[in-house]
Amino acid sequence: MSVTARAAWNLPGTVLLLDDDETFVRSLAEALEPSAVVAFTAPGPALRHLHTVAEAVGSGPVAVGTTEDAGIAEAVALRRDPLERFVRTASRFAMVTVAIVDQVMPAMPGTTFCAQARAMGVKTILLSGRMNDGEAVAAFNDGTIDRYVEKNDPDVIAKLARMIEDLGTSQALERTARFEAILKPASRGLFERHDLWSLLGQISRIFPFCEHYFDAAAPGFLLINDQGDYRFLLVDDADEQIRSAQILTDVGTLEPERLGLAEGRMLVWNLADAIQQIERDEIDLARFVFPANRHGSLVWALIAPDLVPSAGLVPQGSWSSYRGLVRSFLT
């Protein structure tokens, strides 16, 4: 996959389709593959679905409080347990990214539904019955909808596919913005570095992933492919590993690991946790240190599942199985 959303975390989402014409709904849902589409012919069940998904999945794999205290906010965002819970939730793909809604329906106008969906963080596309629809233009201008397209446009499928991709990227950036801002000091501006995203693009050719989640404690990314297989990309600035080498010297750890970190040949997982466990004589440092590769000024290691030090980062479910399940309801 190409890393289109340069966000701290992202995963494929579900498209919600709402139109009172059942034949149109079914044909459009099939045409929008490979997206996972849940289809409704009435707004009431569609809104209940959005609320049910929100309750089941929550806000995502991170904890972001509302405190103004920067230290407390950072400590909350650094917690790994929300990520561990999220990736063990097989229904995480049910998060609705985009709602495609017909404007003319008996129960309520499409714009009314879109306003309620947008309040839940869902991006919206209004299906208009005619070109230059004044209601659609007004709804777009006042922010009720994100996009609109004519239902009878001969290129409607291609246009919808582009809109779904663009709005999915936009949503990913918006929902991770506060998390990234809070973690900026701890991550040392990692999310703003071009070499990080070019590295992820390079890694996607080695291990094609469709989900990525930043773990600030490691630091690095949990990467999951569409079959549910996973790797962990441990990544940091080379200068930080030199500082880690000095800290390890101070606590009296073994020379090979210290030299490897200082020379950029090795990379340590969660230095604070490693030191704590080493001081309690619970674990050998070798389990926390990995051979490193260079990418610009970054050092990185792609870690296989059996070598990941954190036992909680084991995903359940897969995008492929979820998409197949959703498709079975349309047939």
> Does some domain include residue 49?
yes
Tell me the residue type at 111: T
What pLDDT shows up at residue 145? 92
Same domain for 171 and 215:
no
- Note the pLDDT tens digit of each residue in 295-304: 988 999 999 9
Mention every residue, 6+ apart, whose C-beta is less than 8 A from residue 134.
Answer: none
What pLDDT shows up at residue 122? 95
Mention every residue, 6+ apart, whose C-beta is less than 8 A from residue 304.
Answer: 231
Same domain for 170 and 56:
yes
Which stretch of DSSP H or E encloses residue 136? helix 134-141
Q: What is the mean pLDDT of residues 176-197?
A: 81
Question: Which of 254, 284, 287, 251 has the alpha carbon at shortest distance from 269?
Answer: 287
Question: Which of 143, 303, 295 has the alpha carbon at shortest distance from 222?
Answer: 303
CB-CB contact of 68 with 94 (8 Å):
no
Could you report how far apart the first and last alpha carbons of the chain are, in Å? 28
What pLDDT shows up at residue 82? 82
Q: Beta strand 211-215 with 9-10: parallel, antiparallel or unpaired? A: antiparallel
- Note the pLDDT tens digit of each residue in 146-160: 999 998 889 999 999
CATH of the domain at 25: 3.40.50.2300
> Does some domain include residue 106?
yes
Q: What is the mean pLDDT of residues 257-268?
A: 76
Same domain for 233 and 159:
no
HSE (CB half, 13 Å, CA atoms) of 79?
Answer: 15
Same domain for 149 and 263:
no
Same domain for 80 and 115:
yes
Q: What is the mean pLDDT of residues 64-89?
A: 71
> Does some domain include residue 4?
no
Residue bearing the bigger pLDDT, 160 or 280: 160
SS3 225: coil
Angle at 237 between CA 235 and CA 238, to 5 degrees: 110
Summary mean pLDDT of the chain = 84
Same domain for 104 and 131:
yes
Residue 262 Cα distances to 248, 273, 289, angstroms: 10, 19, 12
> Does some domain include residue 171?
yes
Same domain for 98 and 167:
yes
Is the pTM higher than 0.85? Answer: yes
Same domain for 174 and 193:
no
> Does some domain include residue 312?
no
Structural domain range at position 249: 188-307
What pLDDT shows up at residue 249? 66
> Does some domain include residue 231?
yes
> Does some domain include residue 2?
no
Same domain for 192 and 175:
no
Q: What is the mean pLDDT of residues 161-166?
A: 94
Same domain for 60 and 124:
yes
Label residue 135 by pLDDT band (50, 70, 90): confident
CB-CB contact of 238 with 301 (8 Å):
no
Same domain for 62 and 33:
yes
Q: Does the structure show a pLDDT above 60 at 253?
A: no
Q: How many domains does the chain have?
A: 2
> Does some domain include residue 313?
no
Percent of the chain with pLDDT over 70: 84
Label residue 1 by pLDDT band (50, 70, 90): very low
Length of the chain: 331
Cα Rg of the chain, angstroms: 23
Same domain for 205 and 132:
no
Q: Does the structure show a pLDDT above 90 at 112?
A: yes
Q: Which two tokens stand for residue 97?
A: 């990214």
What pLDDT shows up at residue 129? 75
Residue 16 Cα distances to 94, 200, 201, angstroms: 10, 29, 29
